[in-house]
Amino acid sequence: MLMRRVPGRLAPLLSRYGLILTAALLLYCIFQPAFSASDNLRAKGPGDDQSNVPKGVPEAPDLQAAGVPGQVPMEEAPRREKVYKPAPETYAPIEDPFPWLTANNKLPPILPNNLPPVPHVPEHTPLLIGFTRNWPMLLQCVASYIAAGWPADDIYVVENTGTFRSNKDGKLGLQNPFFLNHSQLKTLGVHVLTTPTLLSFAQLQNYYLHTAVQRGWETFFWSHQDVLVFSDEEVKKKDRDHDYQEDPYATLYERAVGLMRYLNEPDMPEWATHFFAYDHLTLVNRDAYLEVGAWDTHIPFYATDCDIYLRLHWAGYWQPQSEAGLIFDVSAPLDDVGALFRLPGSHATFQGDPVFADPGRPGREVEQDQEREIHAWADKEGETYQHLIAVAERMFEAKWVDEGIYRNTWQTKQSGGAGEPFYRDPAGFEAGIKTMIDAGRRVFADKWGHRGCNLIEMGIGVDDAWRLERDWDVSEGEGHLGGDWGKDWTGID
Ligand SMILES: *[C@@H]1O[C@H](CO)[C@@H](O)[C@H](O)[C@H]1NC(C)=O
């Protein structure tokens, strides 16, 4: 029976002797490389038992004797004096960002007006928040979504630390940049998904899409971890469909759900993405992304967003934007995240607050007096909405005051963890990411023949991918990194 499936030309090979010969040859091919590799790895000593090597298997070639290039014997390698870089900057140890949670081990009370709808809305409304470094920033982000009214059970922190089970098993300490407290997230009622290895931004986005496919989510929200969100409690913007007689304001969640329903109405154009405050909070229509081939993982970080949003645009998808509440892009965590729940005794203060840190700030004394008054009030009553917003505005301001100092430092504030599993040098990790960011921009530039996101303005279209010569002056050298990397596609709608 078996013979019949073998193609005619191979059949004679499988005669009795042929079969034995083929099997022997096959076994040899499989095991030969393994034997020679293990041979090379093992230091040979006089008492070394080599009886596990079958007779007749040739000796592994002596690479050094054969003069294989690159195999310089150790004693002949040129020696250079090792020169060390200056010692990396160290920061003061960070403190528990949410002492109330550690002490009480339960979800703090949520303002009645911010409570999520019960029962849950019929649609799936998962919110994915990626995490690689800086636990205080993540906890602040997650806490702000919950305090603003996003159902905790819909929040999925995607742990992308590349430290395998270390966090789940409690093996990393608070000073380790990749530390994340699984039990505290569970206490808040949010889920944690762990990526199998450290993913780039583009890979992480594809992992979100994969997760959405696996779980049957046709749409999902995702958020950056360095944001601080609030529901618009002062109703600066009125939502069309909200019943203000019954309920004083629509929460961030209610408005986001309303927007999703609006986009899914039958006579709306095909849409791919809805941006709330650029992509700080984004609603994704899964199948649109899959249709255009998902994120280009050869552009690992910056510019990969331009690449996909342009491809979605060229494929005819609508990518509108609007507001659902207040979303601040911040560079520092609050000293006490409990302030977001307006817990008495939890204060909305942060390191680097320009009111205290900037001696040249106009009206600084008056502001400092106000801060002291609010401090006394919050000790008894908890923070007020107005003060939280004022502080969040200063946090946003501080992020942009001095781009070099504020913008990028939140990612590198923890510098401990030496000796813990999967330890990586924090500055080295940062350097590796920066190199990959540059590499991604180079890939983008070569893919579209242009250094920058403004492809539409340049008349470049989807069919031009990998077809165009570089449009920049190559005599400038290999500097792919100039160009206009602004978010040019955001005007599209
Ligand atoms: C993680 O959270 C739990 C529960 O609050 C706490 O007991 C534990 O000490 C925390 N782990 C670290 C390393 O901070």
CA–centroid distance, residue 361 to ligand 1 (Å): 39
pLDDT given for residue 485 in this prediction? 73
Please indicate whether residue 174, judged by its CB atom, sits closer than 6 Å to ligand 1.
yes
305-357 pLDDT tens trace: 999 999 999 999 999 999 999 999 998 899 999 999 999 999 999 998 999 98
Query: Which pLDDT band, with edges at 50, 70 and 90, does 121 fall under?
Result: very high
Mean pLDDT of 449-468: 95
Residue closest via CA to ligand 1's atom 13 equals 173
Whether 359 has a pLDDT exceeding 50, the answer reads: yes
pLDDT given for residue 382 in this prediction? 97
CA–CA dist 12, 288 (Å, integer): 53
Please report, for residues 38, 59, 60, 100, 335, the alpha-carbon distance to residue 41 in angstroms, rounded to integers and kept in the order given: 5, 14, 11, 54, 52
CA–centroid distance, residue 177 to ligand 1 (Å): 15
Of 95, 102, 104, the residue with max ligand 1 atoms within 8 A of its CB, to mutate for a pocket test, comes to 102
Mean pLDDT of 395-407: 66
Whether 234 has a pLDDT exceeding 70, the answer reads: yes
Mean pLDDT of 257-277: 96
Whether 493 has a pLDDT exceeding 90, the answer reads: no
Please indicate whether residue 166, judged by its CB atom, sits closer than 6 Å to ligand 1.
no
Whether 7 has a pLDDT exceeding 70, the answer reads: no
pLDDT given for residue 409 in this prediction? 56
Please indicate whether residue 181, judged by its CB atom, sits closer than 6 Å to ligand 1.
yes
pLDDT given for residue 37 in this prediction? 42
150-190 pLDDT tens trace: 999 999 999 999 999 999 999 999 999 999 999 999 999 99
CA–centroid distance, residue 57 to ligand 1 (Å): 56
Rounded to two decimals, what is the model's pTM? 0.83
465-487 pLDDT tens trace: 999 999 987 666 555 567 777 65
32-89 pLDDT tens trace: 544 444 444 444 444 444 456 666 766 766 655 555 555 556 667 788 999 999 987 7
426-448 vs 304-314: helix axis angle to the nearest 10? 30
Selected residue with higher pLDDT from 194 and 415: 194
Residue closest via CA to ligand 1's atom 10 equals 181
pLDDT given for residue 9 in this prediction? 44
pLDDT given for residue 92 in this prediction? 84
Selected residue with higher pLDDT from 236 and 317: 317
Selected residue with higher pLDDT from 151 and 240: 151
Please indicate whether residue 173, judged by its CB atom, sits closer than 6 Å to ligand 1.
yes
Residue 222 β-bridge partners: 128, 282
Whether 18 has a pLDDT exceeding 60, the answer reads: no
pLDDT given for residue 62 in this prediction? 63
Of 174, 183, 188, 414, the residue with max ligand 1 atoms within 8 A of its CB, to mutate for a pocket test, comes to 183
pLDDT given for residue 406 in this prediction? 42
pLDDT given for residue 238 in this prediction? 78
> In the chain, what are the domains?
100-329 (3.90.550.10)
